[in-house]
């Protein structure tokens, strides 16, 4: 069980905005005091660069920095912390893979497979790569209930080099059966490399990369109570060692000569330049916060609040509201994207904002999916550990005002 009153007290934003109904955690989550204080600790007590100094402040910063890598490694059950690469966000992690892995293994005539429900960051890089080298980009479709429809004999072949898919759709909320998909894909083509966008999964459910079977997963700190500017790329060591560096410069270098250079082993090979030190150090506090609550408890709370919200919306607005994605609450995350009557999503979001309810309107960086759904945009409400039934009621009351205002 989650003690919501106790949890909400850990988020300073609710002290400053006590009536806030924040329903946009899919875009970015709120930050607890422990994370904010850790950032301040770094800048006030040992604000120095990492790996470069032998004086105490630099050594302290380096220890704290690498401790975050170890915390992440254990959190997702990686083989070793060296498999954890820091980036700026999940988007950069995916672009790193398209550049450092994709451009190494994809050739003319090869195939890359993704899905129609992807965020642009797990669609466009593969689209661009395929066009550059003459590969074929295959896109897995969905059915009317928001589930992937995979015709395995057609989708995966011996020419398929990469399968890139999301764990949880940031629009539909669909939780894809990634483990089963990985098994099926590798049965057809054992050499296929599977990349999972887990940005909407890692914050909400327990992830075990050893059990999942994928070769790479990516996620972002800011969607799981951590600071912005920090992304994670986890990859199997054998692939990380074979991949090209993504950027060149400070700290990723082993030796530099006039005619050639050599590079450090992963993960540092992919971490050129000064990173977001304070933010990375603070990220471990977010993970500790989540672990203290318990990922099973977080998922259970998410299901209850999402189920409650869906039922309240349908009971209140009936046929005038259309909710996209799976009907089974076990098959979806804490995301509800919807259309209301013929009202424009941006008008809905503006009226909700005027009433202290924060949602997102648009195509949510998933334009191909919205084209497939035959809608230009949707309204998205998303839930996390600090949301309760009062937030849902504020959403419902706000939508009633939308009806009165726009009809």
DSSP string, 255-273: EE-SS-EEEPPTTGGG--S
The domain that holds 229 is classified in CATH as 3.40.640.10
Helix (H, G, I), strand (E, B) or coil at 173: coil
| Residue 286: both structure tokens together | 């977010």
Instruction: Let me know whether 143 and 235 are in one domain.
Output: yes
Whether 29 maps to a domain, the answer reads no
Instruction: Let me know whether 323 and 240 are in one domain.
Output: no
- Which residues share a beta bridge with 256? 261
Of 291, 321, 339, the one marking the end of a domain is: 291
Given a contact cutoff of 8 angstroms between Cβ atoms, the answer to whether 378 and 337 are in contact is yes
**Contacts from 5-10 at CB under 8 Å and sequence distance 24+?**
7/293, 7/385, 7/386, 8/386, 10/34, 10/289
Cα–Cα dist 365/344, whole Å: 17
Range 363-374 average pLDDT:
98
Q: Which residues of 349-359 are buried (b: 16+ CB within 10 A; e: fewer)?
A: bebbeebebbb
Of 266, 291, 316, the one marking the end of a domain is: 291
Instruction: Let me know whether 268 and 139 are in one domain.
Output: yes
Instruction: Let me know whether 236 and 352 are in one domain.
Output: no
pLDDT digits (tens, 9 = 90+) for 20-59: 999 999 999 999 999 999 999 999 999 999 998 899 999 9
Instruction: Let me know whether 265 and 340 are in one domain.
Output: no
Whether 171 maps to a domain, the answer reads yes
- What average pLDDT is seen over the chain? 97
Which uninterrupted H or E stretch holds 338? Answer: strand 335-340
Instruction: Let me know whether 160 and 65 are in one domain.
Output: yes
Whether 60 maps to a domain, the answer reads yes
pLDDT digits (tens, 9 = 90+) for 216-266: 999 999 999 999 999 999 999 999 999 999 999 988 999 999 999 999 999
In 162-254, where does DSSP find H-type helix? 178-188, 209-212, 237-242
Question: Is residue 2 pLDDT above 90, yes or no?
Answer: no
Instruction: Let me know whether 131 and 77 are in one domain.
Output: yes
Q: Give me Rg for the CA atoms of the chain.
A: 22
Counting residues of the chain whose pLDDT is more than 90, the rounded percentage is: 98
Instruction: Let me know whether 177 and 324 are in one domain.
Output: no
Instruction: Let me know whether 60 and 190 are in one domain.
Output: yes
Instruction: Let me know whether 195 and 310 are in one domain.
Output: no
Cα–Cα dist 390/400, whole Å: 15
Whether 392 maps to a domain, the answer reads yes
Of 238, 260, 291, the one marking the end of a domain is: 291
Whether 354 maps to a domain, the answer reads yes
Number of structural domains found in the chain: 2
Whether 84 maps to a domain, the answer reads yes
Question: Is residue 1 pLDDT above 80, yes or no?
Answer: no
- The 8-class DSSP code of residue 96 comes to H
Given a contact cutoff of 8 angstroms between Cβ atoms, the answer to whether 318 and 101 are in contact is no
The domain that holds 317 is classified in CATH as 3.90.1150.10
Cα–Cα dist 29/22, whole Å: 9
Cα–Cα dist 368/119, whole Å: 9
- The 8-class DSSP code of residue 158 comes to T
Single pTM value for the model: 0.97
Instruction: Let me know whether 284 and 300 are in one domain.
Output: no
Helix (H, G, I), strand (E, B) or coil at 160: strand
Structural domain harbouring 230: 35-291
Given a contact cutoff of 8 angstroms between Cβ atoms, the answer to whether 357 and 394 are in contact is yes
pLDDT digits (tens, 9 = 90+) for 179-212: 999 999 999 999 999 999 999 999 999 999 999 9
Instruction: Let me know whether 264 and 379 are in one domain.
Output: no
Whether 346 maps to a domain, the answer reads yes
Q: Residue 105: CB partners within 8 Å, gap ≥ 6? A: 161, 162, 193
Counting residues of the chain whose pLDDT is more than 70, the rounded percentage is: 100
For residue 407, name the pLDDT band (cuts at 50, 70, 90): confident
Whether 30 maps to a domain, the answer reads no
Catalytic residues: 365
């Amino acid at each position: 069980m989650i003690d919501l009153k106790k949890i909400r007290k850990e988020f300073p934003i609710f002290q400053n905005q006590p009536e806030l109904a924040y329903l946009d955690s899919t875009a970015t989550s709120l930050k607890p005091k422990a994370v904010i204080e850790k950032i301040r600790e770094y800048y006030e007590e040992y604000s120095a660069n990492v790996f470069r100094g032998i004086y105490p402040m630099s050594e302290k910063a380096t220890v704290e920095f690498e401790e975050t890598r170890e915390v992440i490694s254990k959190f997702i059950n990686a083989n070793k912390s060296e498999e954890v690469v820091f980036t700026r966000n999940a988007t950069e992690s995916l672009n790193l893979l398209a550049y450092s892995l994709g451009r190494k293994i994809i050739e003319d005539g090869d195939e890359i497979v993704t899905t129609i429900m992807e965020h642009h960051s797990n669609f466009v890089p593969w689209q661009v790569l395929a066009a550059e080298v003459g590969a074929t980009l295959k896109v897995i479709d969905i059915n009317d209930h928001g589930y992937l429809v995979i015709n395995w004999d057609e989708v995966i072949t011996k020419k398929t080099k990469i399968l890139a898919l999301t764990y949880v759709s940031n629009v539909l909320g669909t939780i894809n059966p990634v483990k089963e998909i990985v098994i099926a894909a590798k049965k057809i083509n054992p050499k296929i490399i599977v990349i999972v966008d887990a940005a909407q999964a890692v914050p909400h459910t327990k992830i075990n990369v050893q059990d999942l079977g994928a070769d790479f997963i990516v996620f972002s700190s800011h969607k799981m109570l951590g600071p912005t500017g920090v992304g994670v790329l986890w990859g199997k060591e054998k692939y990380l060692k074979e991949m090209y560096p993504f950027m060149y410069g400070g700290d990723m270098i082993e030796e530099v000569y006039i005619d050639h250079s050599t590079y450090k082993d992963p993960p540092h090979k992919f971490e050129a330049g000064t990173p977001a030190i304070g933010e990375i150090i603070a990220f471990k506090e977010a993970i500790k916060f989540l672990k203290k609550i318990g990922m099973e408890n977080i998922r259970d709370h998410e299901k209850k609040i999402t189920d409650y919200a869906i039922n309240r919306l349908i009971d209140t607005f009936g046929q005038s509201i259309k909710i996209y994605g799976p009907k089974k609450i076990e098959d979806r995350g804490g995301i509800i994207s919807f259309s209301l009557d013929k009202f424009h999503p941006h008008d809905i979001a503006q009226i909700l904002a005027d009433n202290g309810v924060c949602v997102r309107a648009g195509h949510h960086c998933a334009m191909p999916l919205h084209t497939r759904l035959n809608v230009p945009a949707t309204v998205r409400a998303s839930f996390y550990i600090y949301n309760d039934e009062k937030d849902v009621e504020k959403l419902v009351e706000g939508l009633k005002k939308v009806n009165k205002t726009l009809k």
